[in-house]
Structure 1
Amino acid sequence: MKRSPCLLMLALLALAPAAQATDLLVDNVNGYTLDSHGKLQHFQALRVEQGKVVATGSHAELAGRVGDARVIDGHGRTLLPGLIDAHGHVLDLGYARNSVDLTGTQSLQEALAKVKAYAAAHPDAKWILGGGWNQEIWKLGRFPTAKELDAVVSDRPVWLSRVDGHAAWANSAAIKLAGVDAATKDPSGGRIERDASGGPAGVFVDGATDLVNDKVPAPTAQERAAALDAALAEMASVGLTGVGDAGIDLDTYRLYRDYADAHKLTARIYAMIRNTGAAFDTISQDGPLIGYGGDFLTVRAVKLFADGALGSRGAAMLKPYSDDPHNRGLLFMPPAAMTAKIDKAFAKGYQVAIHAIGDGANREVLDSFATAYKTHPAAIALRNRVEHAQILSLQDIPRFVPLKLIASMQPTHATSDMNMAEDRIGHQRIAGAYAWQRFLKQGTVIAGGSDFPVESPNPFYGLYSAVTREDHDGQPPGGWYPQQDMTLVQALRAFTLDAAYAEHAEHTLGTLEPGKWADFILIDHDIFRDPASRIWNTKVLQTWVGGRQVYAAKD
């Protein structure tokens, strides 16, 4: 996605320290919001004071309450609550936009050409970094190799993460710097793809990526800030007013606090501390950080990982993969270790969110939560989350209810994975995969997200996938396993009210009810009246956070 420098400046300067939210009357709109019960409401005007919603209603009801407010004519355009991505990776999005971006490449040759061009354009870069590749789209039937990368860049290390972030591709220079050879054993929770002689072939899966990651220079402060700037600008341009950042380190925590202090955040960030190690010990010294900087930064969750991803066959399955009968994927830790990490987070009062893709990993997570609740019974009220909850045994889905777990799910994963998911796990297990209606019908809250930059941060892609289960070409007609489709109201709720609920913020965010922050967007058409096929192509015209404009599309 291309971004105009002037829009980037608008996004960053709109919340400059001296800026104050102006009282507003946004009139002549085709407004929609959910109420606190998830019922869809319609309105023509929105009244905002001191950054918060005072009222929604008809023009006649609110026109007489203008006072000193700035009046904005919506010209009949559709207004929605600001959308919240419950699971993204903010700095990774910025890094992806500022490095080799292989997202959407259709062949190995196209990807190699991009790497070659980037290397030529950055002759002083010590490492060539990037990601977004997907060998399934390339129809390779295998992983790419180091030798293929060597053909375009051999004079310095190249390190490119797979689209899911659970595997990475190295050239020979990177492998040599990492000291990996045929004698190197697979680390716990990881796998080195090997050639016919047993040497490293070029791709490292899950825990094995640390072998190379440890040699990559850490981003500079300037690179971190540039990544955050790029991510915030893109998020504003697609209508995201909030994001759950699923796994931050100490440097990122400090960067977010600096931006919050300087009023430079243009989206509300609900940050999850990655793991319960040294960063958690430092960040959690004073307990959870809630509503910092005018509700722009909250840090009250811990992100753990149970397994890898389906595309790289790192998702931990109860039985072997249908297309790889000797492989069940990778559990990152035994149940006792997982429970110990949960216990540590609970003891400090932190919500726990655990990445689990495969049915084996999901069962381990459910068992670990059940065990941890015996020691910390009050922690069941923390709204703990399973991130992805992608493939489950049908007998495990009902266990979310007594454990009071939130299913943090990404609708675009279904439409991205449908080209290979059934090959991986077979027809029988697909019944418990991407099973949105199974969760909703039992009363489980689904928090909607994208896992960007694994997927696009555009939440309208997620709404479209949730409603149609089709790709952007309308395939397959009628949707992939359409009995699990969401209604549009259910999908909107997942990306607004229920995403806010997953952040303990449903009383301040997620709808345009009086007393809540005035986070809203104007879009170019009515998604409730127009065909569902148009949802993914929705254009955001304006984005407002706390009654302050942070994005305006060019005319």
Structure 2
Amino acid sequence: MKFIGLIFTLILFIQCTTNIEVDLIVHNAKVYSVDSNFTIHQAFAVKNGIFIDIGTDKQMLSRYKAKEIIDANQKAIYPGFYDGHAHSFMLADYLQQVDLVGCKSMKDFVARVQEYRKKNPDSKWILGGGWDESLWDIKQYPHRDTLDKYFPDIPIFLNRIDYHAAIVNSEALRIAQIDTSVYVEGGKIEIDSTQRMTGLLIDNAMALVSKYIPAGNEVNILQKLRQAQDSLLSVGLTSIVDAGLEVEQLELLKKFYEQDSLKIRNYAMLFAEPHNISKYINEGTFESERLNIKAIKLMADGALGSRGARMLENYSDDSTKGFLLHSKEEFKESLAQLANSNFQVAIHAIGDSTNRMLLDLYGALDIKNRRWRIEHAQVVHPSDFIKFKRYQIIPSIQPTHATSDMNWLIQRIGIERAKGAYAYKELLKSYGKVVIGTDFPIEHFNPLYSFHAAVARQNAQGQPKEGFQMENALSREEALRGMTIWAAYGCFQEKKRGSIEKGKDADFIILDDDIMTASNEKLRGIKTLRTVIAGESVYIRQ
């Protein structure tokens, strides 16, 4: 009897100690795993920043005991959103500068700059961005004469919404020692009918002035980046692709992440010029838990809005085809060098001519398994879509560009070419995946705006009601994959993150409504309740 009693006691002891200790259990949820089968679960367990188990409420609560238990109250949970194309330093600056997004007229434009000046009387420069002349009654670019009238003594540099053009005043031109328009390869200094400079600088011409803008100190830069990070975490972003940073910026990021001063995961691309590619290759790749530098970003052309994107034929509203920022020969040479390096390649391409050139240059190289990317792939000739599949080139897209540009697109490039613009479904059919990003601060950083634009093809006002070129809308599952697992794939990280699966990083978000079932009208207003990176809650909505 003693022996039987001992056995019974031992069994009870084992039963009481089989609950494995973990850091976190989340239950009573609708968990979109975004795995290959798009499985939906109820609960999961996290230990040491990793998902260690996923299943039903009963399974998780009986198998594990946790330091923290979150009852999700039947809310929807998703893998942390991954912004496939963004600009963190630009957003950090933008949040401190004149916000010109949505200006309705030149009068509104000037009033906002005046208001900023009143609040920042000690500023050495007036900087800002977001203006878009296509929203104004008189759809003309601003002129420096207007700025000079109100701001004769302080230099001004104000980016257009696409960040491919800027308006400056005479004081800024004086500091840059520019007193007449000159030829700029891959750029343009605009002149008016009297042959005077208007103050509008396009693409490569912008650097003639911007290089004179004082840089902030290290403490100030970190402060601005953390403010930007707070904004990103509040909308469910756990990872971003920083699409093109200078070496100095990357060195700062290395330092900040080493000090644990930043939390958001960053796949940062080194910005390079084709003629200097050897120097950038020699910088080498870098990999840590939250910061990776394994890709090189190049710029091939400008933007449609400022007519800098290179087209096969003239713009419908101007006698220009746009321009390349560097010659085809320079791209060919630099890509050949990069093909022999450890770097992934991502190139900004907007116009149909630029996309064709790059697809053909990529195709001439043995890079099918390298996951090279084209950023934007904004206007593609019908005969070129198949090349994304043939040469295995990842299309990296930003759905809100379609709904921002749709009102003037036909005017710029005509009806026929517009059919190949923002053709996300066509790109998806060709390659099998699309990487989705916001391109913030050019567009808003909220990834649900991208989700809404991708599936409804509508702007913030729900226009057009029938959707813009709905044949190229994505399904909700496709859009969610594009901002989670496919975005991770675009950075060679699909085995580590992008879905809620055993062994992956415990990056997830809880939303106050289900984006897979909510009406189109509600999508942009859905709030993030909690953002978690590696099992740590980095944002909780109050």
TM over 0.5: yes
Aligned to 2:394: 406
Q: 1:228 to 1:279 in 2, by over 3 A?
A: farther
Q: Distance in 1 between matches of 2:22 and 2:530?
A: 16
Q: Distance in 1 between matches of 2:490 and 2:463?
A: 32
Aligned to 2:517: 529
Aligned to 1:442: 430
Bigger mean CA deviation after superposition, 54-63 or 480-489: 54-63
Aligned to 1:489: 477
Aligned to 1:508: 496
Structure 1 residue 218, shift from structure 2 partner: 2.4
Q: 1:158 to 1:490 in 2, by over 3 A?
A: same
Bigger mean CA deviation after superposition, 77-86 or 360-369: 360-369
Aligned to 1:170: 168
Question: Are the aligned partners of 1:276 and 1:344 in contact in 2 as well (CA < 8 Å)?
Answer: no
Whether 1:253 aligns to 2:250 is yes
Secondary structure, in 3 states, of the residue corresponding to 1:537?
coil
Aligned to 1:314: 308
Structure 1 residue 429, shift from structure 2 partner: 0.4
Aligned to 1:304: 298
Structure 1 residue 442, shift from structure 2 partner: 2.5
Question: Are the aligned partners of 1:400 and 1:444 in contact in 2 as well (CA < 8 Å)?
Answer: no
Q: 1:277 to 1:335 in 2, by over 3 A?
A: closer
Bigger mean CA deviation after superposition, 481-490 or 110-119: 110-119
Question: Are the aligned partners of 2:274 and 2:334 in contact in 1 as well (CA < 8 Å)?
Answer: no
Q: 1:106 to 1:278 in 2, by over 3 A?
A: same
The letter for the 2-side match of 1:357 is: I
Query: Following superposition of structure 1 onto structure 2, how do residues 221-232 of structure 1 map, counting pairs within 5 Å?
Result: 221-232=218-229
Aligned to 2:48: 50
Structure 1 residue 284, shift from structure 2 partner: 4.7
Q: Distance in 2 between matches of 1:202 and 1:286?
A: 36
Q: Distance in 2 between matches of 1:62 and 1:22?
A: 10
Larger Rg: 2
CA deviation string 1:491-546 (max 9, x = no partner): 00000010000000000010001110010011111122221221111111110001
CA deviation string 1:24-67 (max 9, x = no partner): 001111221211x2x32211112111101112221112111232
CA deviation string 1:290-313 (max 9, x = no partner): 3x0xx2011100000110001111
Q: Distance in 1 between matches of 2:323 and 2:279?
A: 29
Which of 204, 208, 212 is 1:211 aligned to?
Answer: 208
Aligned to 1:123: 121
Question: Are the aligned partners of 1:245 and 1:272 in contact in 2 as well (CA < 8 Å)?
Answer: yes
Query: Following superposition of structure 1 onto structure 2, how do residues 183-332 of structure 1 map, counting pairs within 5 Å?
Result: 184-276=181-273, 284-285=281-282, 287-290=284-287, 292=288, 295-324=289-318, 326-332=319-325
Q: Distance in 1 between matches of 2:164 and 2:274?
A: 20
Question: Are the aligned partners of 1:273 and 1:280 in contact in 2 as well (CA < 8 Å)?
Answer: no
Aligned to 2:449: 461
Which of 353, 362, 368 is 1:369 aligned to?
Answer: 362
Question: Are the aligned partners of 2:515 and 2:523 in contact in 1 as well (CA < 8 Å)?
Answer: yes
Secondary structure, in 3 states, of the residue corresponding to 1:62?
helix
Aligned to 2:17: none
Question: Are the aligned partners of 1:412 and 1:466 in contact in 2 as well (CA < 8 Å)?
Answer: yes
Structure 1 residue 277, shift from structure 2 partner: 7.2
Structure 1 residue 104, shift from structure 2 partner: 2.3
Secondary structure, in 3 states, of the residue corresponding to 1:143?
coil
**Whose RCO is larger (CA < 8 A, sep 6+)?**
1
Whether 1:393 aligns to 2:375 is no
Structure 1 residue 278, shift from structure 2 partner: 10
Q: Distance in 1 between matches of 2:349 and 2:223?
A: 31
Aligned length: 522
Question: Are the aligned partners of 2:317 and 2:413 in contact in 1 as well (CA < 8 Å)?
Answer: yes
Question: Are the aligned partners of 2:166 and 2:201 in contact in 1 as well (CA < 8 Å)?
Answer: yes
Secondary structure, in 3 states, of the residue corresponding to 1:151?
helix
Secondary structure, in 3 states, of the residue corresponding to 1:169?
strand
Aligned to 2:338: 345
Structure 1 residue 280, shift from structure 2 partner: 6.8
Structure 1 residue 68, shift from structure 2 partner: 3.7
Question: Are the aligned partners of 2:22 and 2:65 in contact in 1 as well (CA < 8 Å)?
Answer: no
CA deviation string 1:348-389 (max 9, x = no partner): 210100000010111111122123x1xxx2x33110000000
Q: Distance in 2 between matches of 1:52 and 1:428?
A: 49
Q: Distance in 2 between matches of 1:107 and 1:67?
A: 60
Aligned to 1:333: 326
Question: Are the aligned partners of 1:22 and 1:548 in contact in 2 as well (CA < 8 Å)?
Answer: no
Structure 1 residue 126, shift from structure 2 partner: 1.1
Q: 1:202 to 1:283 in 2, by over 3 A?
A: closer
Structure 1 residue 408, shift from structure 2 partner: 0.2
Aligned to 1:26: 26
Secondary structure, in 3 states, of the residue corresponding to 1:136?
helix
Question: Are the aligned partners of 1:29 and 1:77 in contact in 2 as well (CA < 8 Å)?
Answer: yes
Structure 1 residue 287, shift from structure 2 partner: 3.0
Aligned to 1:427: 415
Q: 1:230 to 1:214 in 2, by over 3 A?
A: same
Question: Are the aligned partners of 1:94 and 1:230 in contact in 2 as well (CA < 8 Å)?
Answer: yes
Percent identity, aligned pairs only?
Answer: 36
Q: Distance in 2 between matches of 1:93 and 1:486?
A: 27
CA deviation string 1:2-30 (max 9, x = no partner): xxxxxxxxxxxxxxxxxxx9710011112
Q: 1:146 to 1:272 in 2, by over 3 A?
A: same
Structure 1 residue 242, shift from structure 2 partner: 0.5
Q: Distance in 2 between matches of 1:153 and 1:276?
A: 34
Q: Distance in 1 between matches of 2:227 and 2:105?
A: 27
Q: Distance in 1 between matches of 2:157 and 2:22?
A: 47
Aligned to 1:4: none
CA deviation string 1:149-200 (max 9, x = no partner): 1233221100011111100010111122222233x31200101111222121
CA deviation string 1:114-172 (max 9, x = no partner): 11111122222111111111111224321011111123322110001111110001011
Question: Are the aligned partners of 1:243 and 1:270 in contact in 2 as well (CA < 8 Å)?
Answer: yes
Query: Following superposition of structure 1 onto structure 2, how do residues 50-69 of structure 1 map, counting pairs within 5 Å?
Result: 50-69=48-67
Q: Distance in 2 between matches of 1:284 and 1:141?
A: 43
The letter for the 1-side match of 2:400 is: T
Structure 2 unpaired stretches of 5+: 1-20
Aligned to 1:17: none
Q: Distance in 2 between matches of 1:59 and 1:499?
A: 29
The letter for the 2-side match of 1:195 is: D
Q: Distance in 1 between matches of 2:517 and 2:213?
A: 50
Structure 1 residue 422, shift from structure 2 partner: 1.2
Question: Are the aligned partners of 1:275 and 1:302 in contact in 2 as well (CA < 8 Å)?
Answer: yes
Q: Distance in 1 between matches of 2:112 and 2:358?
A: 39
Which of 90, 93, 97 is 2:91 aligned to?
Answer: 93
Q: Distance in 1 between matches of 2:431 and 2:184?
A: 40
The letter for the 2-side match of 1:418 is: M
Q: Distance in 1 between matches of 2:267 and 2:137?
A: 37
Question: Are the aligned partners of 2:158 and 2:166 in contact in 1 as well (CA < 8 Å)?
Answer: yes
